[in-house]
Amino acid sequence: MENEKGASSSTFKMGNSAQERSLPYVPDCYAVPPSYEPRDALDSKSESVPTIDISRLKGSDDERRGVIQEIRLACQSFGFFQIVNHGIDQSILDDALAVAKGFFELPAKEKNKFMSNDVYAPVRYTTSLKDGLDKTQFWRIFLKHYAHPLHRWIHLWPQNPPEYRKKIGKFCEEVRILSLEIMGAITESLGLGRDYLSSRMDENGMQVMAVNCYPPCPDPKTALGLPPHSDYSCITILLQNLTGLEIFDLTAHDGSGRWVHVPEVKGVLKVHIGDHFEVLSNGLYKSVIHKVTLNEEKTRISLASLHSLGMDDKMSVPCQLVNDENPVRYRESSFNDFLGFLVKNDISQGDRFIDTLRIKN
């Protein structure tokens, strides 16, 4: 037994991971190093995180100003907020989660058609972060694919389950419209105006959909679904079927921070500030550090829609946000630059793209 466990602990062949095989124990390569995971600091009660009624963005000038102010505060303190009254029909959210779950329930042969460890592939199915390559493995299975413009990518997506393209396509389109509204509100909250990025987000803007599945884990105290990380995006919009997401509140405990458990409320969507909006704000807004914890009984599904500028379009600090007290704090970079970083670095060990962009003044 010792031998068998030892052998399967080192690495897994792609498509053969512990979470895909429902192993009844967590192999050593999933054990999260205690150094970067202050689990005890977690106050694991559900807590209040900023929740914003964004229907008021379409209301009177006063109402819109109020929402913009709430967004500004949430971006400054958490880099994260939840949105309600976002206008996307509950049936679209439910259908997307259901068809995503359906994909992961397909036989391995069907899913393996998409299996790839090439971070440049526009559609890829894999496990963990970089399957078998990173030092620590994570109890996650995922399908990642480009989603905008839809007509350019949808024919590459899975045809199984038969409704996958239709249901995920609808979800992607609706979330993208929402993302433009939210990004406009965020640029407005920075004093840049709501159309600051509009022309660069049109046809060329990127939308990457991460369809995540976290199977039940026999030992949720040892393994994680995803390690602490921030997203490279401008913003990420997230839908989940169960709790599991935790965000790091940098401002708590006099700056030493603490983990906050994000509650699940039906129909609510989550918005993450990504690294590229931290750059856009010249550091006023923080890209939120978040992680995924696991569940012993249930399969958790999440859909993370990452929105960014075009592949080679570089995000830089706007001159409007620079003055003597606020020099430029970040180098410019593109989505493509992030992919180059991803190939060379190990996010499982805490490497962060944003750290490579900081300019020491």
Contact set with ligand OGA (CB under 6 A): 210, 212, 226, 231, 238, 240, 244-245, 290, 292, 302, 304
Strand partners, 285: none
Closest CA to 20 of 123, 138, 163, 122: 138
List the single partner that 245 binds among ligand OGA, Ni ion, none, CB under 5 to 8 Å by kind: ligand OGA
Per residue in 347-356, is it b (16+ CB within 10 Å) or e — as a string?
Answer: bbebebbbee
List the single partner that 240 binds among ligand OGA, Ni ion, none, CB under 5 to 8 Å by kind: ligand OGA
Compare residues 226 and 357 and give the one whose CB is closer to ligand OGA: 226
Burial of 141 (0-12, 13-18, 19+ CB in 10 A): buried
| Cα dihedral value 151, 153, 154, 157, nearest 10 | 170
For residue 252, count other CB atoms closer than 10 A to its CB: 15
List the single partner that 302 binds among Ni ion, ligand OGA, none, CB under 5 to 8 Å by kind: ligand OGA
Minimum distance, C-beta of residue 244 to ligand OGA, in the bound complex (Å): 6
Compare residues 138 and 330 and give the one whose CB is closer to Ni ion: 138
Q: Is 249 in the site for Ni ion (CB under 5 A)?
A: no
Compare residues 28 and 37 and give the one whose CB is closer to ligand OGA: 37
Q: Which residue has the tokens 């369809």?
A: 211
Q: Is 231 in the site for Ni ion (CB under 5 A)?
A: yes
Q: Is 337 in the site for Ni ion (CB under 5 A)?
A: no
Q: In whole angstroms, what separates CA 169 from the centre of its chain?
A: 18
- Name the one range near Ni ion by CB under 5 A: 45-53, 155-163, 229-237, 318-326: 229-237
Furthest C-alpha separation in the chain: 68
Strands 245-249 and 258-261, sheet pairing? antiparallel
Q: Cα separation of 156 and 152, whole Å?
A: 9
Q: Cα separation of 141 and 126, whole Å?
A: 6
Compare residues 210 and 223 and give the one whose CB is closer to ligand OGA: 210
Compare residues 100 and 210 and give the one whose CB is closer to ligand OGA: 210
Structural tokens at position 273:
């500030």
Closest CA to 262 of 71, 69, 79: 79
Minimum distance, C-beta of residue 146 to ligand OGA, in the bound complex (Å): 15
Compare residues 170 and 290 and give the one whose CB is closer to ligand OGA: 290
Minimum distance, C-beta of residue 140 to ligand OGA, in the bound complex (Å): 8
List the single partner that 210 binds among Ni ion, ligand OGA, none, CB under 5 to 8 Å by kind: ligand OGA
> Residue 352 contacts by C-beta under 8 Å, 6 or more apart in sequence?
229, 230, 275
Q: Cα separation of 339 and 154, whole Å?
A: 21
- Name the one range near Ni ion by CB under 5 A: 53-61, 63-71, 223-231, 324-332: 223-231
Compare residues 71 and 208 and give the one whose CB is closer to Ni ion: 208
Compare residues 165 and 307 and give the one whose CB is closer to Ni ion: 307
Minimum distance, C-beta of residue 304 to Ni ion, in the bound complex (Å): 6
The residues of the shown chain that bind Ni ion, judged by CB under 5 A, are 231
